[in-house]
């Protein structure tokens, strides 16, 4: 069974530009979450989508947005890039069903963004 | 925002040594505690998910325990091998599929 696929794997942008990252979850998974990792920080939760609806949102500015399509693929967008947005962005998929979720997250290999 | 803390931040051990790390999390409104293993240039992979106080899980030489009343979990590696070198992450999950990760413990096993 194919894993979580993230594209692009690496990209370089300049301040003020915008970027779109893509994530294809494992087939059958309806939940897609996005995380940011910067040096010295743990994985910071950005948002989670389930069945095309944003179900949870972390503490990030409005420049960070996302969406999910009917096939569960998800994109995240960062507008007006800042130097501090340089990070590894990880996407994770899971079944996402159930109230008190105890499900396993399956991660992609990440998209490494460098902002110059 | 839930605070999940891991210690130590990093450690180096000799091949064959046993080691353990700690994850601390809020003890109120507990749902689940997860351990992930993250090798360099790969994706984080789930090791364990634990939900009940006193849970103990084991996978080969790696095991984990959970104390939800005092808010901590231990991960143990017995007889460390170089292939165990990785960052070990713990995460506290809340309702609605929201995970709060610690900063991880970076383990280097020296042959």
pLDDT at B38 > cutoff 90: yes
Residue-level pLDDT at A84: 95
Cα gap A57→A46, rounded to integer Å: 6
| Tokens standing for residue A20 | 């779109």
Comparing A56-60, B83-87, B96-100, which segment has the lowest mean pLDDT? B96-100
Mean pLDDT, rounded, for A66-75: 96
Residues of B in contact with A108 (CB under 8 A): 43
At residue B1 the predicted structure's pLDDT band, cuts being 50, 70 and 90, is low
Model pLDDT, residue A97: 65
Contact between A35 and B101 using a beta-carbon 8 Å cutoff: yes
d(CA A14, CA A97): 39
Shortest alpha-carbon distance between residue B109 and chain A (Å): 21
pLDDT confidence tier of residue B21, bands split at 50, 70 and 90: very high
pLDDT > 90? residue B76: yes
Among the partner-chain residues A45, A102, A106, the one whose CB lies closest to the CB of B100 is A45
Tokens of A64: 């960070």
3-class DSSP state of B91? strand
Q: Are A41 and A108 in contact (CB under 8 A)?
A: no
Q: Provide the mean pLDDT of chain B.
A: 92
Q: What are residue A71's phi and psi, to 5 degrees? A: -90, 10
pLDDT digits (tens, 9 = 90+) for A75-116: 999 999 999 999 999 999 988 765 444 578 999 999 999 999
> Which residue does chain A place closest to B40, by CA atoms?
A109
Q: Is the pLDDT reported for residue A9 higher than 90?
A: yes
Q: Do A3 and B43 touch (CB under 8 A)?
A: yes
Helix (H, G, I), strand (E, B) or coil at B83: helix
Q: Which two tokens stand for residue B66?
A: 């959970």
Interface check for A48 against chain B (CB to CB < 8 A): the answer is yes
- Assess A39–B contact: CB distance below 8 Å, yes or no: no
Chain B residues close to A42, C-beta within 8 Å: 4, 89, 101-104
| pLDDT score, position B27 | 84
Cα nearest neighbour of A37 on chain B? B103
């Amino acid at each position: 069974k194919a894993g979580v696929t993230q594209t692009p794997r690496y990209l370089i942008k300049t301040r003020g530009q915008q970027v779109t990252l893509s994530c294809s979850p494992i087939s059958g998974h309806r939940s897609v979450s996005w995380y940011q990792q910067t040096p010295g920080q743990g994985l910071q939760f950005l948002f989670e989508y389930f069945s095309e609806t944003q179900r949870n949102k972390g503490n990030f500015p409005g420049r960070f947005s996302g969406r999910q399509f009917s096939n569960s693929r998800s994109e995240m967008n960062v507008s007006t890039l800042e130097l501090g947005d340089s990070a590894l962005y990880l996407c994770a998929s899971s079944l996402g069903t159930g109230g008190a979720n105890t499900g396993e997250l399956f991660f992609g290999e990440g998209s490494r963004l460098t902002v110059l | 925002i839930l605070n999940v803390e891991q210690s130590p931040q990093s450690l180096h051990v000799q091949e064959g040594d046993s080691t353990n790390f700690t994850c601390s999390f809020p003890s109120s409104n507990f749902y689940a505690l997860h351990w992930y293993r993250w090798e360099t240039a790969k994706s984080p992979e789930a090791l364990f998910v634990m939900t009940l106080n006193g849970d103990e899980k084991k996978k080969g030489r790696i095991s984990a325990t959970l104390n939800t009343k005092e808010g901590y979990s231990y991960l143990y590696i017995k007889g460390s091998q170089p292939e165990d070198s990785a960052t070990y992450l713990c995460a506290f999950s809340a309702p609605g599929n929201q995970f709060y990760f610690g900063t991880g413990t970076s383990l280097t096993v020296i042959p």
